[in-house]
Amino acid sequence: MNNSRKLCFGITILLSQTIMAHEEPPVQINNNHCSGVSYQLGIWNESSQIGQGSSNRSNQPLATCNDVVSGDNCGQFDLAFNFSENFCAIHTDSRRQAIYSSISQTYYYGPENFIQEDKRINYSLSEGVNFSCNICASNEHIQFENSNNKPQDSFFAGESIFLHWWRSYPHLNSLPYNGYRIESQKRLINSKSAFQSVAQTGIELGAFGRINLTEKLVFEACHEYNLIVSVRDLDGLWADSNHIVKVFDNLLCPQVAESMPLEPSENNSLEPME
């Protein structure tokens, strides 16, 4: 994904850089769960310099130092939190205007002192903050289905896998993105290793509806897949939404409780249909 874009809004954004996606799930501190599809624009790791000139970046006051929140770190969590939230609001602004009924959301990956319960006491600006900027499209929905339109996220080798992508208001389905593509990443079922990219569709137009993924991508038994649905706006920028599906085999890897990684044998792939 190439989401890099220079920002110039009269403030200085320091050391913003996209980094590799995390395996651990992020934390959303303001607890606003996305009820639709969440698109990630990128992940940033900001330095301790976020505190410089902070009065220009936030209209929200710092925490009041009292008997509960005290010491040298008093208010530093709020400073970093407000910076991250405002950064994402600015970074997603033009993108949100192109997505019906959408809001900016910020997810946090660390450091530990930033996301744990005593964050207002223990966190220091010198630790920086690691976060991602996201757009929640509450009007959009993605689910995976079999050939009988039954929603599911686990399949058996040989089954057709459909991605059903729609908007809550049917008349809006005629307003597609400028383009979309789907990337496939895989690893053995129950494995803790990182996903490895294996394939990617071309850029498609006319997004919404039911998409037969088995006509576009290869799915092997005994593997789980991270399917990244990327959408491109009119400015040519991409945003990603991640979804997990698993492919089992009754003999090679029955659908049982998670334990050890399931080793596949040869010739158990489901090839794209002709």
**Predicted local distance difference test score (pLDDT) of residue 55:** 41
Percent of the chain topping pLDDT 90 = 31
Cα angle 265, 267, 272 (rounded to 5 degrees) comes to: 130
| Residues pairing with 211 in the sheet | 163
**Predicted local distance difference test score (pLDDT) of residue 78:** 83
| Residues pairing with 247 in the sheet | 155, 223
- Cα 44 from chain centroid? 13
Query: Do the Cβ atoms of 186 and 223 come closer than 8 Å?
Result: yes
Which band of pLDDT confidence, cut at 50, 70 and 90, is reported for residue 163?
A: very high
Token digits of residue 156: 């058996």
Same domain, 261 and 144: yes
Tens digit of each residue's pLDDT (9 = 90 or more) over 76-110: 888 888 889 888 988 888 777 666 678 889 999 98
Same domain, 105 and 144: no
**Predicted local distance difference test score (pLDDT) of residue 52:** 54
The answer on pLDDT for 169 being more than 70 is yes
Residue 23: inside a domain, yes or no?
Answer: no
| Strand, coil or helix: 171 | helix
Task: Give how far Cα 126 sits from Cα of 49, 51, 113, 122, 169, Å.
Answer: 8, 9, 11, 11, 46
Strands annotated E in 138-194 = 140-145, 154-156, 162-167, 179-188
Residue 11: inside a domain, yes or no?
Answer: no
Instruction: Report the CATH number that the domain containing residue 160 is assigned in CATH.
Output: 2.60.40
Same domain, 132 and 145: no
Calculate the average pLDDT of the chain: 76
Same domain, 253 and 156: yes
Same domain, 82 and 175: no
Task: Work out how many domains the chain is built from and give that number.
Answer: 2
How many CB atoms are located within 10 Å of the residue 92 CB? 23
Query: Do the Cβ atoms of 239 and 95 come closer than 8 Å?
Result: yes
Same domain, 128 and 157: no
Same domain, 128 and 62: yes
The answer on pLDDT for 196 being more than 90 is yes
Same domain, 171 and 129: no
Q: How many Cα neighbours within 13 Å face the side chain of 54?
A: 20
Q: Which residues contact 193 (CB under 8 A, 6 or more apart)?
A: 187
Which band of pLDDT confidence, cut at 50, 70 and 90, is reported for residue 243?
A: very high
| Mean pLDDT for the stretch of residues 235-240 | 81
The answer on pLDDT for 57 being more than 50 is no
> Of 137, 160, 188, which closes a domain?
137
Residue 19: inside a domain, yes or no?
Answer: no
Residue 5: inside a domain, yes or no?
Answer: no
| Mean pLDDT for the stretch of residues 28-39 | 79
Same domain, 221 and 125: no
Rounded Cα distance, 94 and 84, in Å: 17
Place of tokens 């530990």: 112
> Of 97, 118, 137, which closes a domain?
137
Residue 148: inside a domain, yes or no?
Answer: yes
| Strand, coil or helix: 121 | helix
Same domain, 144 and 249: yes
**Predicted local distance difference test score (pLDDT) of residue 79:** 85
| Mean pLDDT for the stretch of residues 7-23 | 32
| Residues spanned by the domain of 101 | 37-137
Tens digit of each residue's pLDDT (9 = 90 or more) over 110-121: 898 888 888 877
- The amino acid occupying position 105 is Q
Which of 48-57, 173-182, 192-201 holds the top average pLDDT? 192-201
Query: Do the Cβ atoms of 268 and 248 come closer than 8 Å?
Result: no
Residue 24: inside a domain, yes or no?
Answer: no
